[in-house]
């Protein structure tokens, strides 16, 4: 039986700005997003009967309709009248509820994979539109690469990749709800904003140093305040010599970017002294 494999890489935000809260309750954002090679793996194959069965070695994620990969399969079946069954195995490696869009990336990989398994022949633009129905990070996860996102995060412009570098990610043992962080953000009272224009120009010029300088995330004002363990990781990465350090998404994962491999072990070991979940990855270019 045909098996389809897809990788679902983690996303990091090099920049996350909230411009304002809109009348419809959503936040108007500007984000620069890219991917790292820390990735979940999805295996998909036909199953007799008209059903979706999900399995995973990770004990702490839902395997029913609450799982975004399940929702992706269901949406595709409904929209294109597919009455075939599918078995999806999710090898989970991206930490959950970490600000790395693991669930969104799984949904994106499921949409890409099922398009192939069911030979639907959908163009990328249509898969992206389908993904937008599942979550505002999903279209970016389908497209991959590096993008400047606006609106709710679903209006995407692909941009060149930043210079290749190492990424050390550390997640403290706390769960942070994205909705909660946005709920606590006083979006219309922010006095300082990261500068998306400076990040875009640093990337276009291929200047690693200027990318480091332009890193910024307004959600740090909420998460760093409430969770001292996130600030502790950030301070530690800076002290250990990471070239640039930022919290990804709503947190709690903090990442450090490094141009030189020689610094990686020092930062990894320094963090592992007090934090269990530390990962080393490359930026995907
Ligand atoms: P984002 O940055 O987009 O907010 P995140 O990285 O913070 O995402 P996820 O790992 O996507 O968070 O998980 C958020 C919640 O979604 C979890 O509490 C989990 O129960 C649920 N979830 C649904 N599908 C998945 C999936 N495939 N993998 C992980 N979590 C999932």
Q: What is the DSSP letter of 206?
A: T
The alpha carbon of 99 and the centre of ligand 1 are apart by a number of angstroms equal to 8
Cα–Cα distances in Å, from 226 out to 40, 70, 176, 221, 238? 29, 33, 10, 9, 20
Before 278, cis peptide (omega within 30)? no
Domains of the chain: 3-159 (3.30.230.10), 166-282 (3.30.70.890)
The tokens describing 169, both together, are 């990610």
Span 83-110, pLDDT tens digits: 999 999 999 999 999 999 999 999 999 9
Nearest CA to ligand 1 atom 29: 103
Nearest CA to ligand 1 atom 11: 103
Q: Which of 77, 72, 70 is nearest to 53 (CA)?
A: 70
Which of 61, 179, 180, 230 gets mutated to test ligand 1 (max ligand atoms within 8 A of its CB)? 61
Distance CA 191, CA 199 (A): 19
Identify the three-state secondary structure at position 169: strand
Span 184-236, pLDDT tens digits: 998 888 889 999 999 999 999 999 999 999 999 999 999 999 999 999 999 99
Distance CA 95, CA 67 (A): 15
Res. 175: pLDDT tops 80: yes
Q: Which of 13, 8, 3, 18 is nearest to 193 (CA)?
A: 18
Instruction: Decide: 149 and 155 in contact? Cβ < 8 Å.
Output: yes
Q: Which of 123, 109, 127 is nearest to 4 (CA)?
A: 109
Span 9-66, pLDDT tens digits: 999 999 999 999 888 888 999 999 999 999 999 999 999 999 999 999 998 899 999 9
The alpha carbon of 84 and the centre of ligand 1 are apart by a number of angstroms equal to 26
Nearest CA to ligand 1 atom 1: 101
Look at residue 26 in the predicted model and tell me its pLDDT. 87
Res. 179: pLDDT tops 80: yes
Instruction: Decide: 100 and 248 in contact? Cβ < 8 Å.
Output: yes
Distance CA 254, CA 154 (A): 23
The mean pLDDT of the chain is 96
Look at residue 115 in the predicted model and tell me its pLDDT. 98
Torsion angle in degrees (nearest 10) through CA of 111, 114, 118, 122: 30
With cut-offs at 50, 70 and 90, classify the pLDDT of residue 256: very high
> Does ligand 1 have an atom closer than 6 angstroms to the CB of 41?
no
The alpha carbon of 100 and the centre of ligand 1 are apart by a number of angstroms equal to 9
Distance CA 102, CA 151 (A): 21
Look at residue 154 in the predicted model and tell me its pLDDT. 82
Look at residue 60 in the predicted model and tell me its pLDDT. 86
Q: Annotated active-site positions, please?
A: 11, 137
The tokens describing 251, both together, are 């947190």
With 0-12 CB in 10 A as exposed, 13-18 as middle and 19+ as buried, what is 280?
middle
Res. 253: pLDDT tops 80: yes
Res. 152: pLDDT tops 90: no
Q: What is the DSSP string of 46-95?
A: EESSS-EEEEES-TTS--STTSHHHHHHHHHHHHHT---EEEEEEE--SP
Tell me, rounded to whole angstroms, the distance of Cα 8 from its chain centroid.
10
Tell me, rounded to whole angstroms, the distance of Cα 80 from its chain centroid.
27
Res. 134: pLDDT tops 90: yes
Res. 145: pLDDT tops 80: yes
């Amino acid at each position: 039986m045909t098996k389809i494999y897809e990788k679902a890489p983690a996303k990091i935000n090099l920049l996350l700005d909230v411009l304002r809260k809109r009348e419809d309750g959503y936040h108007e954002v500007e984000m620069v997003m890219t991917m790292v090679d820390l990735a979940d793996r999805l295996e998909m194959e036909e199953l007799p009967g008209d059903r979706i069965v999900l399995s995973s070695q990770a004990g702490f994620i839902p395997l029913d309709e609450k799982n975004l990969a399940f929702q992706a399969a269901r949406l595709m079946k409904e929209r294109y009248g597919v009455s075939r069954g599918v078995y999806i195995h999710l090898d989970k490696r991206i930490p959950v509820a970490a600000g790395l869009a693991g669930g969104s990336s799984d949904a994106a990989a499921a949409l890409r994979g099922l398009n192939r398994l069911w030979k639907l022949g959908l163009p990328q633009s249509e898969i992206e539109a389908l993904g937008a129905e599942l979550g505002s990070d999903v279209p970016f996860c389908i497209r991959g690469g590096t993008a400047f996102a606006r609106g709710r995060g679903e209006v995407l412009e692909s941009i060149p990749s930043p210079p290749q570098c190492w990424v050390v990610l550390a997640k403290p043992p706390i769960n942070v709800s994205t909705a909660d962080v946005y709920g606590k953000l006083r979006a219309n009272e922010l006095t300082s904003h990261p500068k998306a224009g400076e990040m875009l120009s640093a990337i276009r010029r291929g200047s690693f140093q200027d990318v480091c300088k332009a890193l910024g995330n307004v959600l740090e004002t909420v998460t760093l305040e409430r969770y001292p363990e996130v600030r502790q990781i950030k301070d530690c990465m800076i002290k250990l010599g990471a070239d640039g350090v930022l919290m990804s998404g709503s947190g709690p994962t903090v990442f450090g970017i490094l141009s030189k491999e020689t610094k990686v072990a020092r930062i990894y070991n320094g963090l592992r002294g007090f934090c269990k979940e530390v990962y080393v990855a490359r930026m995907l270019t």
